[in-house]
Amino acid sequence: MSALTALARLRAVRDGVAQRITTVRHCHISDQPLVLIPLKLAGEAAAPLAAMVGTDPGHPRLLVVPQPRNRDLRFAFAAGLAEVLLPYIEGFEKSTETVERRGGEPYERCLDAPQILVPNRSAASFTGLLGRSTRFRRAEGPYPVHPSVPLLGRWLTYFADRSQQPGSSVLLAATEALSLHWATGQSGLEDANLAALLGWIDPPPGMSGHRAAEEAEDPLLWPPAGPTTDPGFDNEVLAPAIRAYEEAPTDRAVDRVSQALRTQLDPTWRLMWRAVDLLRSLPEGSRVKDRWEIDRGSFTRFVERIAEGSPPQARRDGAVGAAARLAGLERARASYDVQRAHDDPLLMAEYRLTGEAFAGTVIAADPEHSEGEGRSRKLRPLITVRTGDPVRLTPGTVVGSPDRRGHAAEIVEAVDGEITLKITKGMGRGRTPAPGSVPEPGERVSYTSLIDDFQSSAALPGPEQTPWTHGGPPEEYEPGDDDAQEEWL
Amino acid sequence: MNSLRERAFLNRLDELRGTMPARPHDARAIAALAANPGCARRAVMDAAGVDKDRAARHVGFPAPFGQSQFAITRGNVFESLVKENGCAELLRLLRELLGLSVAQVGYRDVESVGSHLRHSHTRALIDRAAREDDGTAVFYDHPLFSLEIAGHTSYLEPDVVAFQIGGRFHIVEIKSFGMIDGQAEPDKVAAAARQAAVYVLALRTLMADLGHDPERVSHDVVLVCPENFANRPTAALVDVRKQLSVLGRQLTRMTRVEYLLEGLPDDLTFDLAPGEDGVPTRSADELTQALLQVPARYAPDCLSTCDMCMFCRHEARACGSTDLLGRQIRDQLGGVSGMHEALGLAEGTREAVEGQEEIARLLRLADRLREESLR
């Protein structure tokens, strides 16, 4: 949260409509995303109640569990969800490209990957729990389930895990994706309500964002986006409908539960597609493609893992696995922050505000300047930039420029808004700099100490060499019969 | 406080509450006291025992809290399962968790006596257990504790069980949220820990009152939850020392409500006396005016803890307070409390008063950078 965002929120309050806090979109939005809105039974950890799911805004599929405490009905629900989700995922597995690697075997990567959109963070976590409760099931033995159920569980787990990776777009929570791009005139806590958030971003004609958000808080007008349902609805509508089903499990009783749940899901379904349209209307940031490429790679590896017949994801990471995951998350977070700032002048402005970046006009340049003598002579062009930004970079700091990839410089001196830089990279190999590689006087430039440099992954021992301080080498995880027969009440 | 002043203070609180009986604080309410310690409105209303839920309803800003019957049923089913057969299941869990070798454990249901006797019965049982340090183990189900809150005794009827072995006590809190692969939702665990801390404090107070060492009540409470997706219970120890110190501090502060009352008009009251139809006889306007006399300190967190939240949010909005947007935003604005003021400073339409120069410079720069980047 920066002063810039705070300012945007103040403006949102005054103008009655949300304000943009980015100039471009920083997440990938697929041409064919799958929207999933899960609902769960209140008071239970992972008892699915219903889901609205699909890729066509006009034709959602509604899945319900008429008696959420019935195990068989739950697995039937899971099989129904698999029927929608698995073909969607498999649709992306076939077309691949060959990626050449420097010093390695070329490998295959899917040309596109699936993307699931859920309303909020709780829905993303619930997706993970659904995955956890289904991935260990088996199609044979006691309590058999449809073969698609365990596969669904592994995919849901994959999506939920992957959504924790900063910059990944395979599973997005709509409220988070929207809040990344717009500041509303309410608190971050209230932004978790999808209807209220969209009320601020795109209020109905003639209504202020504030009014629209207030209306969105009424559960009768805008049912909560889940996964928990409105307690009033539970007590007055859902409970009698479930009771009726218990007394006589007829089609009519199922219909009654379905109709009731549809009223809770329909409004959110429409909101989700409005969110998709709003996000699509933003121009895509230039590095979004690079990050989606990483997502495609990750998706391809998981497809291969399943094809190889490897076991479902373990209940918990081992010590080495957990450390590696954490290090990976940290690297992804750092790189994601830098990439976004480089893509977006409005985000870079936050770093200018804190003195880690500056923008200004070149007032002098010495493109032929060099250092050293004879064979060790190196080309080191000098430029001086005048800026009004409060620069807090000390001499010797290495900086990069969002406008020029591969360009690097070092701060020589910073006095009274005039900054002298020594360019160290990106001028070509000649005795004189390549044309255009050194900014000319009058040119507008920006520099920052924020650099997305390659960080090698932490050196961790193999799992079989886990030190005794961390419990020693873990036992190989083999999902057993207990896992497959675990109660799901 | 000398006794005369104390009497006057308590009378004043009674006047504030009016003719309605004081609303007892349950553990959840006491735990929530620590949520927003800077709020005078809440402190005064809580100290006087005003029914905040009813007050909020009457002025047209009901709190958006409701509980689903599914959640209630689930909670009850799980609790009775854990307590079945004299807490047999609980004993199994405690044996594993605390490494006990006891084969037998006593079970006393305090609820067996009439409700008016439960508190003294609890007292007697705890006293006896603390004296007879003979290594026996006993569960006390439905104990009734009390805590003094701003001069009023609040009775706590925990769903919990107190477990005593060899004169040492543990509070056992039974919750129905799932512990999946050894992990539960952090905010639910935090809420449970805050509640359990209230019981620990109440039991410690009782022990001290009886002349025993209060430290014999462990700060490690036993949290019992369903394991994974089934109904089978599992248990974990939760250290509530931090919650205890927050709570202790908060309760001492409550007596300082006296100072909060000083500036208030003498005839101020939040009386909710009902007419024949059960609706408070006072006009909503009058009550609103009374409420506005005591300053609130709204924060978005209130929306999940305080019955008055919608009323205070409305008020904060009406006066353009930056509190509305959350503490983080307010911090970013260098503590400038008015939205108009902050925007005026940023856009240069308002001169910075003394002490605001620094934040004004930052906001103006932020405004310039924002305009420049959006161009």
Residues of chain A in contact with residue B322, where contact means CB-CB under 8 angstroms, are 10
The token pair that represents A217 in the structure block: 């808080």
Do B362 and A7 make contact, defined as CB atoms within 8 angstroms? no
CB A20 within 8 A of CB A29: no
CB A152 within 8 A of CB A85: yes
Mean pLDDT over each residue of chain A, to the nearest integer: 92
Burial class (CB in 10 A: 0-12, 13-18, 19+), A191: buried
pLDDT value for A481: 67
Tracing tokens 């995922």 back to the chain, one arrives at A89
Nearest Cα residue to B312 out of B297, B328, B290: B297
Neighbours of B108 (CB within 10 A): 20
Angle, CA of B214, B217 and B219, to the nearest 5°: 115
Q: Per-domain residue ranges for chain A? A: 3-318, 345-448
pLDDT value for A473: 82
Residue in chain B nearest A231 by alpha carbon: B68
Residues of chain A in contact with residue B68, where contact means CB-CB under 8 angstroms, are 42-43, 229, 231, 234-235
Do B332 and A20 make contact, defined as CB atoms within 8 angstroms? no
pLDDT value for A437: 86
pLDDT value for B128: 85
Report how far residue A323's alpha carbon sits from residue A325's, in angstroms, rounded to the nearest whole number.
5
Please give the helix or strand (H or E) that residue A20 lies within, else none. strand A19-20
Q: Is A482 on the interface with B (CB under 8 A)?
A: no
Q: Is A10 on the interface with B (CB under 8 A)?
A: yes
Angle, CA of B260, B261 and B265, to the nearest 5°: 130
Do B66 and A349 make contact, defined as CB atoms within 8 angstroms? no
* Secondary-structure percent of chain A, ordered helix, strand, coil, rounded to 5: 40, 20, 40
Report how far residue B202's alpha carbon sits from residue B222's, in angstroms, rounded to the nearest whole number.
16
User: For A224-270, what is each residue's pLDDT tens digit?
Assistant: 998 999 999 999 999 999 999 999 999 999 999 999 999 999 999 99
Q: What count of residues does chain B have?
A: 375
pLDDT value for B255: 64
Report how far residue A31's alpha carbon sits from residue B328's, in angstroms, rounded to the nearest whole number.
36
- The reply to whether ipTM tops 0.90 is no
Nearest Cα residue to A350 out of A5, A20, A9: A5
The token pair that represents B143 in the structure block: 């104990």
Do B370 and A133 make contact, defined as CB atoms within 8 angstroms? no
User: For A127-149, what is each residue's pLDDT tens digit?
Assistant: 999 999 999 988 888 888 899 99
Angle, CA of B152, B157 and B159, to the nearest 5°: 150
Tell me whether the omega of the peptide bond preceding residue A227 falls within 30 degrees of 0, making it cis: yes
Residues of chain B in contact with residue A3, where contact means CB-CB under 8 angstroms, are 332-333, 362-363, 366
Do B71 and A43 make contact, defined as CB atoms within 8 angstroms? yes
Do B69 and A230 make contact, defined as CB atoms within 8 angstroms? no
pLDDT value for A8: 95
Report how far residue B23's alpha carbon sits from residue B15's, in angstroms, rounded to the nearest whole number.
14
pLDDT value for A172: 98
Report how far residue B300's alpha carbon sits from residue A224's, in angstroms, rounded to the nearest whole number.
18
CB A415 within 8 A of CB A386: no
Report how far residue B326's alpha carbon sits from residue B311's, in angstroms, rounded to the nearest whole number.
16
Nearest Cα residue to B170 out of B242, B103, B220: B220
What is the CATH code for A345-448? 2.40.30
Q: Position B102: which residue type?
A: V
Closest-CA distance of chain B to residue A410, Å: 24
Do A187 and B329 make contact, defined as CB atoms within 8 angstroms? yes
If you write DSSP's letter for every residue of B239-280 in order, what string do you get? E-HHHHHHHHHHHHHHTTHHHHHTTS-TT------B-TTSSB
User: For A120-129, what is each residue's pLDDT tens digit?
Assistant: 999 999 999 9
Residue B179 gets which letter from DSSP?
Answer: B
Q: Position A113: which residue type?
A: A
Q: Which of A10, A191, A234 to mutate to test the interface with B (most CBs of B within 10 A)?
A: A10
pLDDT surpassing 60 at residue A489: no
pLDDT value for A477: 67
Please give the helix or strand (H or E) that residue B77 lies within, else none. helix B69-98
pLDDT value for A305: 94
Residue in chain A nearest B360 by alpha carbon: A3
CB A445 within 8 A of CB A360: yes
Report how far residue B364's alpha carbon sits from residue B350's, in angstroms, rounded to the nearest whole number.
11
Residue A44: HSE in the Cβ half-sphere, 13 Å Cα cutoff = 22
Of B67, B71, B229, Cβ closest to residue A46: B229
Q: What percent of chain A has pLDDT over 90?
A: 73
Task: Name the packing angle between helices A3-15 and B339-347 (round to 10°).
Answer: 110
Average pLDDT, stretch A320-332? 90
Q: Which of B176, B181, B329, B371 to mutate to test the interface with A (most CBs of A within 10 A)?
A: B329
Do A42 and B71 make contact, defined as CB atoms within 8 angstroms? yes
Closest-CA distance of chain B to residue A390, Å: 9
CB pairs under 8 A between A and B: 150
Nearest Cα residue to A219 out of A204, A230, A211: A230
Report how far residue B15's alpha carbon sits from residue B34's, in angstroms, rounded to the nearest whole number.
25
- Among the residue ranges A21-25, A384-388, B151-155, B370-374, the one predicted with the least confidence is B151-155
Q: Is A46 on the interface with B (CB under 8 A)?
A: yes
Alpha helices in A163-238 (DSSP H): 174-179, 194-201, 209-216, 231-233
Q: Per-domain residue ranges for chain B? A: 3-66+252-325, 69-249, 327-374
User: For A44-67, what is each residue's pLDDT tens digit?
Assistant: 888 999 999 999 999 999 999 999
Of B75, B176, B365, Cβ closest to residue A353: B365
3-class state of residue A302 by DSSP: helix
Cα B111 to Cα B82, B90, B140, B159, distances in angstroms: 17, 19, 10, 11
Of B73, B301, B366, Cβ closest to residue A3: B366
Report how far residue A33's alpha carbon sits from residue B25's, in angstroms, rounded to the nearest whole number.
49
Residue in chain A nearest B318 by alpha carbon: A13
Of B69, B177, B368, Cβ closest to residue A235: B69
Confidence (pTM): 0.91
The token pair that represents A9 in the structure block: 């929120």
Residue A285 gets which letter from DSSP?
Answer: P
Per residue of chain B (375 residues), give pLDDT as tens. 567 777 887 888 888 888 888 777 777 777 777 777 778 898 888 888 888 999 999 999 998 888 899 999 999 999 999 988 888 888 888 888 888 777 677 888 887 777 678 888 888 888 888 887 667 788 888 888 888 876 667 778 776 777 888 778 899 999 989 899 888 988 899 989 998 999 999 999 999 999 999 999 999 999 999 998 888 899 999 999 999 998 888 887 766 777 788 888 888 888 888 888 878 888 889 999 999 999 999 999 899 888 999 999 999 999 999 999 988 888 888 878 899 999 999 998 988 888 888 899 999 999 999 999 887
A463 Ramachandran zone, left/alpha/beta (phi>0; psi -120 to 50): alpha
Of A4, A187, A232, Cβ closest to residue B366: A4
Residues of chain A in contact with residue B176, where contact means CB-CB under 8 angstroms, are 43
Burial class (CB in 10 A: 0-12, 13-18, 19+), B181: exposed
Cα A352 to Cα A55, A207, A403, distances in angstroms: 41, 36, 15
User: For A178-221, what is each residue's pLDDT tens digit?
Assistant: 999 999 999 999 999 999 999 999 999 999 999 999 999 999 99
Closest-CA distance of chain A to residue B339, Å: 6
pLDDT value for B94: 86
Q: Which of B187, B370, B374 to mutate to test the interface with A (most CBs of A within 10 A)?
A: B370
Closest-CA distance of chain B to residue A473, Å: 20
Nearest Cα residue to B287 out of B37, B17, B9, B29: B17
Do B75 and A45 make contact, defined as CB atoms within 8 angstroms? no
pLDDT surpassing 60 at residue A334: yes
Closest-CA distance of chain A to residue B269, Å: 30
Burial class (CB in 10 A: 0-12, 13-18, 19+), B230: middle
CB B201 within 8 A of CB B248: yes
Report how far residue A283's alpha carbon sits from residue B175's, in angstroms, rounded to the nearest whole number.
48
